[in-house]
Each structure stands twice: as C-alpha cells, then as structure tokens.
Structure 1
C-alpha cells in the first residue's frame, strides 16, 4: 500500500510540474531520481546509485549510461533517461551496447513518465528488443504495481524477476494482438470463427460480412462482461442495505434507453480506475442522461445526449463548462478516456 501511495504521489507531481520541465537533466532530477528513491535505493549513495556509469566497449571508451543501481558491488539495473517530451527509441539506445558488457540482467529506458524494463529472454547477454514490463506512471494500472514492487530493494531477486519476465512479456504481446484483432479483425482471425459457424463456402462476400459480425460479436461480449462485473459490484453493495418500500410516485416522462445504460456502463468501466464504482451514479432527465460523482449535481462527470439524431458526449472541464463531442457509435466514448479521468481527478 505504501508503494502504491508513493507512485500516486509521484504521478501527481509529474502532472503538476511537467509543463515547467524543459531539459533531460531536469527530467532526471524531478521525475527519475524520485522513482529510483521510492524503490528503496539511496540516490545520495554513490556506491548504490551511480550516475554517469561508464563501461568500456571495446575500442569505444568513455561512453556512459545515465544511472546504474548497484547491489553487493555489482550493477543490477542500468538506466538510460530521456527528456519527458521525447519519444523513446531503444534501437538507438546505449542500453543495447552496455547490456552485454555489464553483468546486469535488467535495463530501464525511461523519460520519467513512460518506463520500459528489458532483460535477455531471447539470447543470453543480449538485451531483448521488446520490454517485458512497460507502463505510464501517470496512468498506472493496479496489476502493474506488484510487478514494480519486485524491483524494490527489499524484494529484489534476479531469478524470480527473470522467471516472471517471460510471462509478462508474452502476455503483453498477446493482449496487444487481441486488442488489434478486436478493433480490426484480420482475414485469418475472421476465418477462424466463420469456419466454425458457417457451413457454406467462405467466399469474399461471406468473409466481408463475417468481418463485421466478428467485430460486433467481440464488442458485445466485452460490453456484457463489463456489465456483469458492474452488476456484481452493485449487487454486492446492495446486500448490506435494508430494503425500503418505495412510496407511490407519479409516472415520469423520462425514459431511460438501453443505449444510455450501455453508455453509462462504458463510462463506469473507464472511471473505475480512479473512482469506486459505488460513487458513479446516473440520473436521467428529459433533455440528457447525467452521470454524477456521489449523486451530487455539483459534481457532474459527463452527460450523454442521446435524444437527437446525432449522439453527443458532454465532458466537463475544470471550471465545469460542458464540451460536447459527437459520437458515431458508443465505442467512441473510449476515445475520451483521458478527458473523463481528468474530470474525475478535478473532484478528488
């Protein structure tokens, strides 16, 4: 829990300061060194955290990597840093050259916001081209925190991390592949499902039709799973509450549609990364479908305007001004994930 809070505090600091950070050196001091420190390493101890670490590479002398973390007199992690505004390209990185001459098994490439951890799963003493652990510290998912904790000074075990690295790396690659196939199903992917359910000849026309069907089926399946988890969470909360007999009410002119509820479930799926599900409440009106924090009208998270021919998602800025965005489909809501999470952060 302590590491979780420290990571969150660093993420908040980055959000606050990054626009004022201009150089690579400033990025190191403001973002990277605090990260090394929260892993339990003393950044003021030159025997533990070595800046400008030098290892001679054949005829190349004096090349340096930004930091090396030492344990028992041996480097355990080498770190190369970039300006937070830069895109990270490991192919031009000194990490590749340093990795095979140092005795470390781990290399870290970071710009203080994105972190990429590498090892040598494919060829001994040669750094893999793809990281086995990758994350954005400002958008950290809960399942990543235990993996970061393995690099803490008190937990560090090179063999355990390497054993787990293979699973992490290939699971990440498979998830990327699944995500890509869901968004844009490939021919072979569509053929896999079409051949199971369609007995006729898979002509070009049939395959074109099944491409849309496979995409739709996966979208609905994901939506159903989100809905099931949401209902399970809401039902669990309701178990502890006493039943109250509702008083007779007048027939309302407000009609809540399935599309509005589906949009609500998507918003909950996004915001649950920042907020407890029980705090995200919907309140329908004749003109819009409102989604509130703590069922408080003063804390609008967003609005769904689904009553007209064109659907809109209304998102609120820090001054609670609403900005509408046209939606071609409900899945388009996922495109505004960052803005929705920022709105939630404004109330925290």
Structure 2
C-alpha cells in the first residue's frame, strides 16, 4: 500500500464511522491508532515504538500523561495528545503538550481528534512549542500538497532536519491558502480596496466600496472560471474515448469480477472479438465523461481517464483498465444515474436530473481516482 492510499483508507474509516464514535477511547481505537500504524508506520503493538499514557514529571506536575509517545532510534520523537472526534481542537486542549515538549527530546507535537491532525514544532522559540501548527491535515478535506511533508514524519522516512527547514513555510502557506479561499468566496473590504486601487485612483469613500464590492466578487469568479476553462481545454484535448471492449479489457475481465458483479447486466461484451452490436456513445454520455475527466484532472493526468461504452452503461476507467473504475454512466433510461464506487468496489447508483448534478459528487470521484492510482 502506498502512502496516499494509506491516508485514503484511514480517511474513509473516519467518514464512515465518525457518527457512531462518542468517546476519546473509541476515537483512539477507531481512528488514531490506525493513523499511527498505517500512515506514520509505527508498530502500535510494540511499546518500544508506541508508548501509550507516556509519563514525564514536569516541575511540580507529577504523574501527568500524554496519550502517546512515538519512539525512533531509542528517542521520543513525537508526542500525541488525543481528543474525541467530535471535540474541536484548540490551544486549551494542548496544555500537557506544552509542558512535555520542553522536557523531552521530542521536536514534534501533535494534537488530534482523529479527523484533524495539528502538527507543532518550536519554530518561533527554541524548545518551546509554537502556538500555531506548522502542518494541518483534515482527513475529510485533505490537501495533497501537505502529503510530502507528512511523509517525512513517518517512521521509515523520518527527516527532522528537512521538516525543520521547511516548517516555517508550511506553517504560513496553508493558512494563506485558506485566507485566499475566503477572500474569493466573500471579499473583505480591505481586499476590495487593495484590488480596486489598481484600477481606481479617486478617494475610496463608502459609496465607492459599495460599487466595487460586487465588481471584485465578479472579477474573482471570472478569474477562477478562466482557470477552470484552461484546465478543461487541456483535459478535452486528448483522443482517448475507447469504443467497445479492447483485448486488454478482456484480459482484465477475470480480475475485475468484484467490480462488475453488482449489476448482473449485459455489458455488451461478446467474449470474442470485442464487437459491439447496437452500442452508440451519445453526445450526452460524452459530455458527462468530459465533466468527470475535468473533475479528475486535479488529481491525475487527464490523458489517463478513458471511457468504454457498452449496452448497459458507459464505464470510465483509469488507464483503460477495468480493475481501476472511476465511475459509470447509466443514461439509457428516462432517469439518469451516476455510478459511484467505494472501497468495496461495489457500484452505487445515484440519480441525477441534469449533467450538472455530477459536480455534486466531485469529491467522491476524486477519492476514487486516488484509490485506483
């Protein structure tokens, strides 16, 4: 299992089980220990690697415990303080981490509720844990750009010097991206004034602000639309729609039984030369394919997204390999359905009224792309 796949698996567990987890201990067992084991690569059953209820006397504080200490090369490298999954994370939850950080060899401290993982260092002042994390990972809204830094914190690839050299940049780039996102959604007065200053030279009265607020919001939306259109042009440029069943697909069919057995329908395969009697790929199916391709191109080279039509549905794969399904299009009836896959490779049909309804499932499409890459 590769690194990103291990993150996806733990994220899927959080997404599926979060609603039924009500205590801190349940959070540890369901989400935190799997993350320590599968993502960070530590043996959770080896007390020489993962020390639960780690104790270090701190001044007058005796017998205080932090939930886990991760040990590498005989030294405590990472301290982890846990909260239940429904508990928002705040500095008030990190008091033990502050104290333990100063009296152990650990340079990395983690505050987590199983879904959100806040990683801290001592960037601002040596041997004193920063008040803001340098890396934030929300498993239900993961930013893939932090994965390389996170991988440096795993047991096999632990590289404290490299993390320390990039931690300050990591600490501020993430919040800056989120701030930019907020400005794009709802421009603040300061941001409106900043941008308007490039095109308006007069005094910036309240009436001018009122005039420019919607103009800036419109300009930002058009800018984003232009960026998306550029990506779409790239995505739609490849000639990769597969008509019928290729010989490669026939070779793959035996290994893909778990993907196809949920329908029990005639998919147009005749088991021999790949002929497709009466199968026509409609313009609507091609348009839907292009939408899915555009959604997926944020996670994978769009040239790898392919379509193969059959009688019962259009199948969309990665690398034209039906062991790597991304979605299906059931457009042969009055009610259109989009077929979506989960970890069990079973296809769930969800009704859509128009092709724009596909966008509502963009996150699930990208998650499936990440699973099959």
Normalising by the residue count of structure 1, what TM-score does the alignment of the two structures yield? Answer: 0.72
Go from structure 1 to structure 2 and tell me whether the alpha carbon gap of 1:104 and 1:344 turns closer, same or farther (over 3 Å shift).
closer
Query: Aligned ranges for residues 288-303 of structure 1 at < 5 Å?
Result: 293-297=327-331, 300-301=337-338
Question: What is residue 24 of structure 1 aligned with on the other side?
Answer: 24
Specify which of 297, 308, 320 is matched with residue 350 of structure 2.
320
Deviation (angstroms), 1:182: 2.1
Go from structure 1 to structure 2 and tell me whether the alpha carbon gap of 1:225 and 1:266 turns closer, same or farther (over 3 Å shift).
farther
Q: How many Å separate the matches in 1 of 2:41 and 2:301?
A: 30
Deviation (angstroms), 1:174: 1.4
**In the alignment, does 2:252 pair up with 1:222?**
no
**In the alignment, does 2:363 pair up with 1:341?**
yes
Question: What is residue 6 of structure 2 aligned with on the other side?
Answer: 6
Paired positions, count: 297
Question: What is residue 113 of structure 1 aligned with on the other side?
Answer: 115
**In the alignment, does 2:195 pair up with 1:193?**
yes
Go from structure 1 to structure 2 and tell me whether the alpha carbon gap of 1:118 and 1:343 turns closer, same or farther (over 3 Å shift).
same
Q: How many Å separate the matches in 2 of 1:205 and 1:211?
A: 10
Q: How many Å separate the matches in 2 of 1:83 and 1:174?
A: 28
The superposition leaves residues 30-67 of structure 1 with CA deviations (integer Å, 9 ceiling, x where unpaired) of 21112111222121221211110111111111110000
Question: What is residue 59 of structure 1 aligned with on the other side?
Answer: 60
Tell me, what secondary structure is at the counterpart of 2:53? strand
Tell me, what secondary structure is at the counterpart of 2:76? strand
Q: How many Å separate the matches in 2 of 1:206 and 1:46?
A: 65
The superposition leaves residues 123-150 of structure 1 with CA deviations (integer Å, 9 ceiling, x where unpaired) of 1122112111111223333323222211
Specify which of 211, 214, 217 is matched with residue 213 of structure 2.
211
Go from structure 1 to structure 2 and tell me whether the alpha carbon gap of 1:197 and 1:18 turns closer, same or farther (over 3 Å shift).
closer
Q: How many Å separate the matches in 2 of 1:212 and 1:18?
A: 39
Q: How many Å separate the matches in 1 of 2:161 and 2:2?
A: 25
Q: Is the 8 A contact 2:235 2:294 kept in 1?
A: no
Q: How many Å separate the matches in 1 of 2:198 and 2:368?
A: 49
Tell me, what secondary structure is at the counterpart of 1:238? coil
Q: How many Å separate the matches in 2 of 1:204 and 1:280?
A: 53
Specify which of 144, 147, 158 is matched with residue 149 of structure 2.
147
Go from structure 1 to structure 2 and tell me whether the alpha carbon gap of 1:241 and 1:15 turns closer, same or farther (over 3 Å shift).
closer
Go from structure 1 to structure 2 and tell me whether the alpha carbon gap of 1:173 and 1:56 turns closer, same or farther (over 3 Å shift).
same
Question: What is residue 84 of structure 1 aligned with on the other side?
Answer: 85
Normalising by the residue count of structure 2, what TM-score does the alignment of the two structures yield? Answer: 0.68
Deviation (angstroms), 1:238: 2.5
Q: How many Å separate the matches in 1 of 2:70 and 2:166?
A: 21
Deviation (angstroms), 1:265: 9.3
Q: Is the 8 A contact 2:118 2:135 kept in 1?
A: yes
The superposition leaves residues 65-106 of structure 1 with CA deviations (integer Å, 9 ceiling, x where unpaired) of 000011222211000111112212232322122212222111
Q: Which has the higher contact order (CA 8 A, sep 6+)?
A: 2
How big is the alpha-carbon RMSD for the aligned residues of Structure 1 and Structure 2? 3.8
Higher mean displacement: 128-137 or 14-23: 14-23
Deviation (angstroms), 1:121: 1.1
Q: How many Å separate the matches in 2 of 1:155 and 1:346?
A: 26
Go from structure 1 to structure 2 and tell me whether the alpha carbon gap of 1:175 and 1:52 turns closer, same or farther (over 3 Å shift).
same
Tell me, what secondary structure is at the counterpart of 1:67? strand
Higher mean displacement: 56-65 or 145-154: 145-154
Deviation (angstroms), 1:170: 0.9
Tell me, what secondary structure is at the counterpart of 2:182? helix
Go from structure 1 to structure 2 and tell me whether the alpha carbon gap of 1:224 and 1:301 turns closer, same or farther (over 3 Å shift).
farther
Question: What is residue 36 of structure 2 aligned with on the other side?
Answer: 36
Tell me, which stretches of 5 or more residues in structure 2 are unaligned? 244-282, 308-325, 340-347
Q: Is the 8 A contact 2:338 2:352 kept in 1?
A: no
Question: What is residue 100 of structure 1 aligned with on the other side?
Answer: 102
